Chain A
Amino acid sequence: MTGEAISAIWLTLQLGVVTTVLLLAVSAPLAWWLAFSRSPFRLPVEVITTLPLVLPPTVLGFYLLILLGPAGPIGKWWVSATGDSLTFTFSGLVVASMVHTLPFVVQPMRQAFQDMGAAPLEEAATLGAGPVDRFFNIGLPLARRGLVTAAVLGFAHVLGEFGVVLMVGGNIPGQTKVVSITIYEGVETLDYATAHLLSAGLLVVSFAVLLAVFALNRRIPLGAGR
């Protein structure tokens, strides 16, 4: 295996882990709010969080490029705060992946919170547990199946990203050149050996991850009783 391929694999795994961890932290409260809020903003927010699912990655990538670019509102702030650019860097890739993968993490979590229902939370409240206490000690443990599903779907989705990554990150070895882009480049340059190797690798990893999740989900005792 070439050094470039190994570096792409390593980078992809890093991106997957970092994005998934950050997304879980952001999505859990968001999914909680979507599941239980009676706010009139609930519906528009739900639509926004689902948009990345239906938009072509190029459209999403294009807008992200503009927002995150050194002239864009977020990019400008990032440059002044860290001295580094958000486009064509690993940090920018993480941000773009988070946006693109958001629905894959939020939806299963929201579903899990809804399946759990308000009943255990009401009970906890009448026992003196405040909102944060209820979220961490009742909500998260009872919805853990949904959390595991969300993490795995998110991770797998990040591994397979292509369009958004290409738009925002480009193709810088060791920085933004992930597996999917290396495969594309392999095909373009007729380096089928690398393309074969990485494609098969991605296939096997995806299969193994899903297998592990399904097996794990069976073993975790049901959260919400029954």
Chain B
Amino acid sequence: MKTRPGMLNAAFSLARGGFTLDVDEQIELAGITALFGPNGSGKSLTLRTLAGLETPERGRITCNGETWLDAGKGLAVPAHRRPVAYVFQDARLFAHLSVERNLAFAEARARTGGPEVSRSDVIETFDIAGLLGRMPQGLSGGERQRVAMARALLSRPSLLLMDEPLAALDVQRRAQALNFIEQIPERFGVPVIYVTHQIDEVVRLATNMVLIAGGRIEAQGPAAELMARLDLPPFTGRFEAGSLIEAKVARHDERFALTVLELAPGTAIEVPYLDFPTGETVRLRIRARDVSLATVKPTGISLRNVLEARVEEVQAEPDTAFAEIRLSLVGQALRARISRASVHELELEPGKPVYALVKATALDRRLLTRR
């Protein structure tokens, strides 16, 4: 396996108290990579191993051409010599140091050759100028996480690992913190591996996604592609099947309080009014059960989103009345969940042109994000 820059090769196995983690994966480091899976699936253990906080009995890890672990040769670069920073769920600010001195601690130990990150940059990005003189004990959960992120970046890592940093925050603070996290890769030039079991965080943040369950990596790839795959529901089962669609805000219809999103010239979808400027690209998640299919163009119905698509794959759900259909919609993947009887009646099979009927009111605003 040849390692290219921006590439993480991890092949290791690790046994901890009856649980075995087996990883053999090549992960491209670009933007934010979500490491997604249920609780107890080995996400945090994977992250800790990458950071050097756990040493596997077997395996090799190389990142950007540097070897971090080669158990066969007895080589394990200790955590403090890996160009990696870690944001823990509980922030872990040093209780005996003020916010400013927490930042200075990281700055004084910054990696050489890492991205140029200055103190004023992080203070501005994470809006923590007002907290500098405070002690960690006096900060709110959201403030702590912002300081933790700023501190991690100040150590100039080549890779930032984040372990469910929002888990301890309430809904409002989570939304706010997501805005900060979203900016990290572009603003500081640092790729992120982000552990979460919340699908809306994946939708919002992730370029790529790695799916982990029971100590094994089940799939990885671009987030939108992975969410459209039909063979993954056993692992993605914690969230409802759906697909990610990218579209541009084409125009707003003030009279009926609608916004028109264009997937491609001539293919548009109407959604309840969105407060996004025209021209902006958004990402929306459409649940499979909100998509119906027709073989002829229906008329005289209340559904306003009738889109031309093509069947790519049909998969019956065993022991249920339903089937999952993967459609191609001007090059993007769309999932539908309909009854097996309908599949039979409409003679749906790969290659067949259909009309996808999308219920606009069912669009989940929470799952609709700027890109």
Q: Taking beta carbons and an 8 Å cutoff, which residues of A are in contact with B?
A: 119-120, 122-131, 133, 137-138, 141-142, 144, 221-226
In the complex, what distance in Å separates the CA atom of A141 from the CA atom of B96?
7
In the complex, what distance in Å separates the CA atom of A138 from the CA atom of B81?
18
User: How far, in Å, is A127 (CB) from chain B's closest CB?
Assistant: 5
- Tell me how many residue pairs across A and B have CB atoms closer than 8 Å: 74
B122-142: CB near A (< 8 Å → 1, else 0) gives 000000000000011100000
Let me know if A127 and B95 touch, CB within 8 A.
no
Task: Give the residues in chain A near B80, CB-CB below 8 Å.
Answer: 124-131, 133
Task: Give the residues in chain B near A125, CB-CB below 8 Å.
Answer: 52-53, 78-80
Which residues between 70 and 109 of chain B lie within 8 Å of chain A, taking CB atoms? Answer: 78-81, 84-86, 88, 90, 92, 94-96, 105-106, 109
Task: Give the residues in chain A near B357, CB-CB below 8 Å.
Answer: none
Given contacts A122-B53, A126-B84, A129-B109, contact A142 B79 (CB under 8 A): no
| Interface residue tally on B, bucketed by range | 20 to 34
In the complex, what distance in Å separates the CA atom of A130 from the CA atom of B78?
9
In the complex, what distance in Å separates the CA atom of A223 from the CA atom of B137?
10
User: How far, in Å, is A130 (CB) from chain B's closest CB?
Assistant: 5
9 sample A-B contacts, Cβ–Cβ < 8 Å, listed by A number = A120-B95, A122-B53, A126-B84, A126-B155, A127-B152, A130-B78, A221-B137, A225-B137, A226-B137
Let me know if A137 and B88 touch, CB within 8 A.
no
Given contacts A119-B88, A122-B53, A123-B86, contact A128 B111 (CB under 8 A): yes
Task: Give the residues in chain A near B53, CB-CB below 8 Å.
Answer: 122, 125-126
Task: Give the residues in chain A near B52, CB-CB below 8 Å.
Answer: 125
**Beta-carbon nearest neighbor of A128 in chain B:** B109
User: Could you say which of B81, B92, B161 contacts A119, with CB atoms under 8 Å apart?
Assistant: B92
In the complex, what distance in Å separates the CA atom of A225 from the CA atom of B151?
18
User: How far, in Å, is B295 (CB) from chain A's closest CB?
Assistant: 56
Q: Is residue B217 contacting chain A, with contact meaning CB distance below 8 A?
A: no
User: How far, in Å, is B101 (CB) from chain A's closest CB?
Assistant: 10
Q: Is residue B51 contacting chain A, with contact meaning CB distance below 8 A?
A: yes
In the complex, what distance in Å separates the CA atom of A224 from the CA atom of B95?
6
The 3 closest A-B pairs by CB, nearest first: A128-B109, A125-B79, A126-B86
In the complex, what distance in Å separates the CA atom of A123 from the CA atom of B106?
10
Q: Taking beta carbons and an 8 Å cutoff, which residues of B are in contact with A?
A: 51-53, 78-81, 84-86, 88, 90, 92, 94-96, 105-106, 109-111, 135-137, 151-152, 155, 161
Task: Give the residues in chain A near B86, CB-CB below 8 Å.
Answer: 122-123, 126
Please name 20 further chain A to chain B contacts, defined as beta carbons within 8 Å, in addition to the given A123-B86, A126-B79, A225-B95, sorted by A numbering. Answer: A119-B88, A122-B53, A122-B79, A124-B94, A125-B53, A126-B152, A126-B155, A126-B161, A127-B85, A127-B109, A127-B151, A128-B106, A128-B111, A128-B155, A129-B80, A129-B105, A130-B78, A222-B95, A225-B137, A226-B137
**Beta-carbon nearest neighbor of A144 in chain B:** B96
In the complex, what distance in Å separates the CA atom of A129 from the CA atom of B110?
10
**Beta-carbon nearest neighbor of B148 in chain A:** A123
User: Could you say which of A119, A126, A129, A142 contacts B96, with CB atoms under 8 Å apart?
Assistant: A142
User: How far, in Å, is A138 (CB) from chain B's closest CB?
Assistant: 6
Given contacts A125-B53, A223-B96, contact A119 B90 (CB under 8 A): yes
**Beta-carbon nearest neighbor of A141 in chain B:** B96
In the complex, what distance in Å separates the CA atom of A129 from the CA atom of B102?
13
